Structure 1
Amino acid sequence: MTIPVKQLSDPAVRDFVAALNANDQAALTEAMTPDVTMSDDGSERNVQEWLDREVFGSRGHMEVESESNGGLGLVANYRNDTWGEMRTKWLFTVGGGKIARFETGQA
């Protein structure tokens, strides 16, 4: 069972997931703070390089299975053309109504 993006609890997370799934780089940039940070499997990454490789260059897409922590924590099936599909966890930090940090990794 997946949660439709429009039903995600946190508006900033909802905007992030909707933009990622639409492969809309402008909307995803707008959903994040200018100084956004992130980690992947515990390693700090350059956000733009990661997005270019894992999302925009490989058609990344999230299907959210569950949320926690008021909608700031997600478990999702994430797929892209590079890695196929995997079960992932996401933790978001929101500042000023935008994503200030996200951490992802295999669930």
Structure 2
Amino acid sequence: MTDQIGDPAVRAFVDALNAGDRTAFRAALTPGATMADDGTERDLGEWTEREIFSGDGHLTVETVQDDGRSFVASYSNSTWGAMRTRWKFTVQDGKVARFETGQA
């Protein structure tokens, strides 16, 4: 379903996340990018290392809205297992400037 994400910045974010590619993931973000998890602001570097890279995070996109800037996905990692999550992205200059995620 990743191919249904029309926004190239969001698609690059998801592809890098699923590949566990820290370099490509950082390249998909603007300098100073921000994020929130379940409505709480988080330190992007700490959160992504813990929840994505050290935890073998993986997204399986289920439904896409807003040209891919919003979607529902099954998210899994080695810490929490699998859960249904929602993701919303703000894109600026072709890169992800902010993302918000949480349980769906």
Query: TM-score, length-normalised on structure 2?
Result: 0.98
Any unmatched runs of 5+ in structure 2?
none
The code of the aligned residue for 1:32 comes to L
Q: Identity of counterpart residues, as a percentage?
A: 56
> C-alpha offsets along residues 30-78 of structure 1, whole Å, 9 cap, x if unaligned?
0000110000000000000000100001000000001112211010000
- The CA distance in 1 between the partners of 2:36 and 2:99, in whole Å, is 7
In the TM superposition, structure 1's runs of 4+ consecutive aligned residues that sit over 6 Å from their partners are none
Q: Is structure 2 residue 71 aligned with structure 1 residue 70?
A: no
Deviation at 1:9, TM superposition (A): 1.1
State the aligned residue count.
104
- The CA distance in 2 between the partners of 1:47 and 1:97, in whole Å, is 19
Correspondence for 2:16 among 4, 19, 27: 19
- The CA distance in 2 between the partners of 1:34 and 1:52, in whole Å, is 17
Q: In angstroms, what is the RMSD of aligned CA positions?
A: 0.7
Any unmatched runs of 5+ in structure 1?
none
- The CA distance in 2 between the partners of 1:24 and 1:6, in whole Å, is 18
